[in-house]
Chains A and B, each alone.
Chain A
Amino acid sequence: MSKSIEQKDFQLSAETLASIDGIIEKYPTKASALMPCLWAIQDELNHVPEPGVDLLMEKLDVTRARVHEVLSFYTMYRTEPQAENVLQVCHNISCHIMGARGIIAHLEKKLGVRMGEDTPDGKYRLEGAECLGACGHGPVMQLGKHMHEYLTPEKVDGLLEDLGKGETPRADTDRELEE
């Protein structure tokens, strides 16, 4: 017998709900739609709260244990609200050789937090990440969907300045592409 945990403000937009239904239709089985549905919820709410789990349990006919297994297995799914800007700096071998530790130390000083912590105002979270697949461009940091590469303390400062102004810093993966 499971009890769903109440959350007063849980609401998903019509787009997200439609997207979820579309995903379920596209995928060969209901259960296989779990990951993209979790992303749909997290993309809107920045995390997957328990009522989101309830919703997917019903729509996909899966147990709560199953959904939480998946949520806890992958690093990118969050069940708690995240800070506004989650800065994930790769600390794997290539980036390490190219100076990731220095970048991390610099960020720790600038933000006043240690790795794995949130700033008190909830605006930034500094995290370590394993290899982000940009090894030749290191040191590398992930912010949202994009990568910030070839990091130097100056570049990091510029990034933080943009974020501080509420602007989206230009990312290296955000290449000007001819449409």
Chain B
Amino acid sequence: MAKLTIDGKEIVVPDGTRLFDACTEARGGDQLPHFCYHPDLSIAGVCRLCQVEVEGMPKLTIACNTIVRDGMVVQTRSERVQKASKQILEMHLINHPVDCPICDQAGECGLQDQYMEYGLYDAKVEVPQKVNKRKVKVIGPQVILDQERCVLCSRCVRFCDEYSKTGELGIFNRGDRAEIDVPEGVELNNNYSMNTVDICPVGALTSRDFRFQKRVWMLKAAESVCPGCATGCNVRIDYEADRIYRLKPRHNPEVNGRFMCDKGRMTYKTVHASDRLEHPTMAGEKTDWSAALARFKDGLKLGLVITSAHQSVEEMGLLKPLAQVAGGAQLSGGLAGSDMGEGDEILLNADRTPNRKGLEIVGLQEHAAAELAEMIRAAGTVLILGGNPAADEQVASALKSAGEMIYIGTHANETAALAAVVLPGCMWAEKAGTFTNKDGRLQGFKPALKGRGSAREDWRILAELMALAGAEEVPVSLPLLRKALNEDLFAGSGINLNQLPVHGACHGGESE
């Protein structure tokens, strides 16, 4: 361990700690000013902002490239340091265009933030004297580049070299003619390209999807988990009113670090698809909940319940009790081998469902198409919760000739088309729940939006059906439902779905 004094305060940190991080700790979480430093990338040391005074060293030194030594005495707020920070920040600003009114980064911009904190000086360079470079250059399907705004921190270049290992970006030319770009004929087109937008501290790299959509200070945030694959990257849903504007990765050192893939980032679009189910239907005709549920007022008997790996642990957890009370229905976790794709070595998993492991926990098995088709034919009434099994021909044909099918779903898909009763449920961004990732890590997610139209949370719909089937006790709230599942599924493992640790908890292994 190393004991050092930062701004008069003594702290003890492990050997090998970066002085930058030690300073953050000593300053109660307030990071030193910086652009180029990023904990997941190599050290560049080019922005020169994180300079501090270290006793015994004649020049100021950058904290990002300094490893702590026992007995170090550091000043981060001395007059000398403050003067240097101001001057260096000014250097970043002299050629920076005054784009704030039209720049998406406004409100979450490193330059703005640092200027407000310790700049606050008038410009000394007249606008016509500023160096001009290319603005609004589309460099890939997801990313737009503005070279004038770029502060040449090189985070994006290092990211493409070190993380996605695709090397599309470079810094060309020397001096103040230096510019970030892709070489001619090359596109920034890899499945992690949008992380460069996140890590760009200014508005040089921006998302084409988000361009001009919303000012960031208008956005609210909800903590969620990406439903795109079994990795379960932690995300933040940025939304306003009834619209999601973008997803951003949330830091989880056990799962996705600070990044996520582009495919996952775009999963929010399905929430706003035009074929969302908004109201209950019966035989294809729009109706309302009382009418639809009244169909079963004389009791609900189910022969088969099919779900999918897209549903939450809580929803899956209700299916066994429902099946039992509804006459001992058979259960299926859905089509085996469905929703698979190609995984990469980085974050994207070949399993494109967020909760296949959840089926295991709850004790549901998936079935091959032929077997599932037989189960359908043998059953009377079939309840399908989520997924889209009718996309498979065998399943669809079985459903066509089978008895009644009730579908709790979110999109007007093949399964909805074959359903006698469609009950609109909620997507992941519209409800709370828990997913289990490929490592068995349980991670909770919170809603951003309300359900579309008159859609209801899936667990609530299941509770209604349980009541119709004659259950004496039905869950009345999600917390109570989770409490019950804690006892049923996680007794002895200490897992509490109502209070999962911030980085999730592994089932069948150590908690975080």
In the complex, whether A2 has a CB less than 8 A from a CB of chain B is yes
In the complex, whether B39 has a CB less than 8 A from a CB of chain A is no
Shortest CB distance A88–B (Å): 17
Chain A residues 17-70 with CB under 8 Å of chain B are 50, 63-69
Further pairs besides A2-B185, A63-B167: 14, Cβ < 8 Å: A1-B187, A2-B186, A5-B184, A5-B185, A50-B185, A63-B170, A64-B183, A64-B186, A65-B157, A65-B167, A65-B169, A65-B183, A68-B170, A72-B173
B169-182 CB mask vs A (1 if < 8 Å, else 0) is 11111100000001
Q: Which residues of A contact B187 (CB under 8 A)?
A: 1-2
Pick the most buried of B173, B174, B183, B184: most chain A CB atoms within 10 A of its CB.
B183
Q: Whole-angstrom distance between the alpha carbons of A50 and B141 in the complex? A: 24
B interface, over-half SS: loop
The residue in chain B whose Cβ has the minimal distance to the Cβ of A73 is: B174
Q: Whole-angstrom distance between the alpha carbons of A69 and B170 in the complex? A: 6
In the complex, whether A3 has a CB less than 8 A from a CB of chain B is yes
Q: Which residues of B contact A173 (CB under 8 A)?
A: none
Chain B residues 176-216 with CB under 8 Å of chain A are 182-187, 189
Number of A-B contacts (CB under 8 A): 43
Q: Which residues of B contact A2 (CB under 8 A)?
A: 168, 183, 185-187
Q: Which residues of B contact A63 (CB under 8 A)?
A: 167-168, 170
Listed A/B pairs (14) with beta-carbon separation below 8 Å: A1-B186, A1-B187, A2-B168, A2-B186, A3-B186, A5-B184, A63-B168, A64-B185, A65-B168, A65-B169, A65-B182, A68-B172, A69-B170, A69-B171
A interface, over-half SS: helix
Please give the number of chain A residues whose Cβ is less than 8 angstroms from any Cβ of chain B in the complex: 15
Q: Which residues of B contact A67 (CB under 8 A)?
A: 183
The residue in chain B whose Cβ has the minimal distance to the Cβ of A69 is: B170
Shortest CB distance B262–A (Å): 14
Q: Whole-angstrom distance between the alpha carbons of A66 and B189 in the complex? A: 17
Chain B residues 266-322 with CB under 8 Å of chain A are none
Q: Which residues of A contact B167 (CB under 8 A)?
A: 63, 65-66
In the complex, whether A7 has a CB less than 8 A from a CB of chain B is no
The residue in chain B whose Cβ has the minimal distance to the Cβ of A74 is: B174
Contact pick for B189, options A1, A5, A68, CB 8 Å = A1
Q: A63-B167, A66-B167 in contact; A72/B172 too (CB < 8 A)? A: yes
